[in-house]
Structure 1
C-alpha cells in the first residue's frame, strides 16, 4: 500500500512538473514574440529606455538578469538536487542515458559554434551559448502534441534538460566569472558554511535559509562570481531528507519540497517570462540580411540545430548500439530524432550565457538572432518529425 502511495506521489509530482513546464513554455513563446514585436514598433524607444533606467545601484535590466534570475537558478538547483536524490535521476541506471545525451548535446553544439568562429578570436568566448536546452520551451512543444508523445519521452527530455542546466551552471561558474574580490568571496563561503550547518542541524524552517540566501547573493554579487550562482548554492544546502533512516522526505516536512512547490508557478509564469521579455527584444531596423550570415549568428544557429541533433541523437544511438541503455519506453527512433531537434530550442539559458559572453551590443544582437533562428528551426523540425512519427497512444498507457 505504501509503495503504491509513494509511486502515486512521485507520478503526481512529475505530472505537475511537466504540466507547469509545458504551460510556462507556451507563455514564454508568447512573451518572446511580444518582445520582438515591441522592439520593432513605435514603442521600441520606450521599451529599451525602461530597461536601462537605474533603480538604486543597478539598471532594471541588471536587476532582472542578476537578481530575479537568481530565483530561476534557485529553482534549477532545487530540481537538480531533488531529481538526483529522490526522483528520475536517483540512480546511475536512470542517469546514464539522459546524462550521456546531455553531455553530447553540450559538446557538439560548442564544436559547431567554434567551427564557424575559428577565425574570429573575439567571438570564441561565446562557445557555450548553443550548449543549453530550454526545458520550458521544449516541454511546451511536446505538450502541444498531446498523446502522440509517450510520457517516457517527456521524462527523458526533462531529465536531459535538468542535467544540461547543471552543466550550464558549471560552465558559468568556471568560464564566465569576472575579476574576484577575495574578501567578499570569503564572506560568501562563510555564509555557505552556515547554510550547510543549518542543513546538518535539520532546520525545518525556510526563513533562515532564505535570509542567509539573500546575504549570500549580495556577497557573491560583490565577489565577481555571477550572482545567480548564489541561487544554486542555496538550493544545494536546502534539506531534502530530515529523518535519519527514512527513504525519503514527504513534501510537507521537507524544506526543499516546500520551497520548490512555492517557486514553480512564480518562476514559470513570472521570472522566466520577465527575463524573456527583457532580453528577447532585438531591433531589426538598420540590420542588413548579412547579419544572418555573420559567424556568431551562424555558429549559434548551427550549434542549436545541427550540434544538438548530432550530440543527442548520436550519443543515444551509440548507447543503444552498445547495449548500455534502452530507448525510452514506447518511443520510436523517429520520436527520439524529433526530441533531439527539440533540444535545440535554446532560449533562457542561451540568452543568459550570451549576455555574459559579450558586452558589445552588436554581438549580443547577433547572438539573439542566432538563438531565435536556431530555436525556431529546431522547434519546427522537432514538432514536425514527432507529428509524422508519433501515433496517438491509449490514455491508460500514458498515465
Structure 2
C-alpha cells in the first residue's frame, strides 16, 4: 500500500516510468527515431543520410533491390508484415476477433476509420489525378505509436478502451494489407504469380500434414518472398501470406504460431520498425518553403488523419450503439471513447509505407507526404493524450459510467 504522500508522487512519475516499460516503450522509440531522422536529414549529415539509404549498392544478390532503402522497405519490412499476419491469425482463431459479437464493432470502426479519412483526403486535393494515388495514406493507424501514447496514461484509461484501440488497429492493418495488394501493385507477371501460388500451396500443405519444425516454414517463406517480389505485387504481402500458413498448434500440442509471434514481435517492434522509421521519416526541409509545407498533399493527409479518423470511427461507434447494433466498450464514457478515436489518427509506419508505394520515384511528393503524416500524427497524439489525460481518472477515483444507447 502506498502512503497518502507517496501516492501522488507515484502518479506524477508514472508517465516517466511508462517511457521505459509496458505498451509505451515501442511507441516512444518510434517518436525518438522519427525525431532523429528529421534532425539528421536537416543537419550537415544530410548528404551521408541520403547516400546511406539511396546510394546504389556495389553488390546486391537481387538486382531489383539495388539500394539499402529498397532492402528495408521490400525485405526487412516483410518481417513486420509476417508478425502482423501472425497476430491477425491468432486474433481470428482464439483472440478478440474470434466471435461475431467481438468482431462487429472493431470491424465497423476500422472500415469507417479507413473510408472517411480517404474521402477527406480526396475532398481536400480536389481533382488532381496524380495526387489521387495517395488516397490510402491517412487510412492506416500505427499500433505501436498509438499504444505507446496510451501507455503514457498508465491505468487511467479503462482496459476496455485499450483493447478496443488494439483491435481496431489490427483490423486496420488487415485493411491496409488488402489495399496495398489491390491498389498499389505494378504490372503483374503471371509466370512469377503462378510460381508464388505453388510455393504458397506447399506451405499450406506443410500445415495440413503437420510439419512440426519451424525452419522448413522459414525456408519456404523466403522462397515465397522472392517469388512475390518478382510478381509485381509488393513483396511484403508474402509476409502476410506466409504467416497465415503457420499452424496454430503443432503435433505436440504446442502453439508454433504463438512461439514465432513471441519470438519475432520484439525484433519487429524494436529493430525492424525503428530502422524503417529512420530510413523513411527524414525530410530535408532546407529547400522547402511555406508553400510546400502547406501544399494540398500534406494538408490532405493531415486532415484525413486528424479529422477523418475521428469522424469515421466515433461516428460509427455512436450510430452502432444508438441503433443497438453493437455494445460500446465497458466502463467508458463518450468523451473517453472520443479520445481513443483521436489516437487512431496516429498513422506512422503503414502511412509512410503506403506513401512510398503511391508516389514511387517522386521524391517531392514523398517528402510532402511525410510532412503530412508526421504533422497529422503529432497533432493526433498530442490532442488524444490531452483529452484522455483531462477526462480519465484512476481506477480508485472512477465511478462506473457505462455508455447507454
Alignment equivalent of 1:200, drawn from 200, 208, 211: 208
Give 1:20 shift: 6.0
Aligned-partner SS, 2:230: helix
Q: Is 2:249 the partner of 1:241? A: yes
Say if 1:32 and 1:280, in contact at 8 Å, map to a contact too: yes
Are residue 321 (structure 1) and residue 322 (structure 2) matched?
yes
Matched position secondary structure for 2:97: coil
- Aligned equivalents of 1:20, 1:48: Cα separation in 2: 34
Q: Secondary structure of the residue that 1:283 maps to in structure 2?
A: coil
CA distance in 2: counterparts of 1:382 and 1:112, whole angstroms: 20
What corresponds to 2:162 in structure 1? Answer: 154
Given candidates 383, 386, 389, the residue that maps to 1:387 is 389
- 1:286 and 2:272 matched: no
In the alignment, structure 2 segments of 5+ residues that lack a partner are 1-20, 400-405
Q: Unaligned 5+ residue runs, structure 1?
A: 1-18, 244-248
Instruction: Check conservation: 1:192, 1:233, Cα contact below 8 A.
Output: yes
Aligned equivalent of 2:227: 219
Between the aligned partners of 2:32 and 2:113, the Cα distance in structure 1 is: 26
Corresponding residue number in structure 2 for 1:364: 366
Counterpart for residue 307 of structure 2? 306
Q: Which residue of 1 aligns with 2:3?
A: none
Cα deviation, residue 272, structure 1: 0.3
CA distance in 2, matches of 1:135, 1:47: 27
- 2:44 paired residue number: 42
Paired with 2:288 and 2:274, the residues of 1 have a C-alpha distance of 26
Match of 2:123 in 1: 115
The number of equivalent residue pairs is: 372
Cα separation, 1, equivalents of 2:397 and 2:162: 15
Q: How does 1:46-65 map to 2 (within 5 A)?
A: 46-53=48-55, 54=57, 55-56=59-60, 57=63, 58-65=66-73
Residues 384/396 of structure 1: CA separation in 2 closer, same or farther (3 Å cut):
closer
CA distance in 2, matches of 1:265, 1:64: 17
- Does 2:85 align with 1:77? yes
Using the TM superposition, give the Cα deviation of residue 323 of structure 1 relative to its aligned residue in structure 2, in angstroms: 1.4
Do the aligned residues in 2 keep the contact of 1:147 with 1:395 (CA within 8 Å)?
no
What CA distance in whole angstroms lies between the structure 2 residues aligned with 1:147 and 1:138? 16
**Which portions of structure 1, spanning 4 or more consecutive aligned residues, are displaced by more than 4 angstroms?**
none
8 A contact 2:321–2:327 mirrored in 1: yes
User: How far apart in 1 are the matches of 2:124 and 2:23?
Assistant: 33
Aligned partners of 1:382 and 1:206: how far apart in 2?
A: 41
Q: How far apart in 2 are the matches of 1:382 and 1:93?
A: 27
| Distance apart, 1:292 and its partner CA | 2.6
Q: What SS class does the counterpart of residue 133 from structure 2 fall into?
A: helix
**2:403 counterpart residue number:** none
* Alpha-carbon shift at residue 293 of structure 1 (Å): 2.2
Kindly provide the CA deviation profile for residues 150-191 of structure 1, in whole angstroms up to 9, marking residues without a partner as x: 111111000000000000000000000111111111110000
Aligned position for 2:11: none
What is the rounded CA distance, in whole Å, between the counterparts of 1:396 and 1:145 in structure 2? 15
Show the counterpart of 1:140.
148
Contact residue 250 and residue 256 of structure 2 kept, 8 A: no
Root mean square deviation of aligned Cα: 1.6
Equivalents in 1 of 2:200, 2:141: separation in Å? Answer: 29
Paired with 1:73 and 1:20, the residues of 2 have a C-alpha distance of 22
> 2:111 aligned to 103, 106, 120, which one?
103
> What does 1:81-92 correspond to in 2, within 5 Å?
81-92=89-100
Paired residues of 2:22 and 2:151 also in contact (CA < 8 A): no
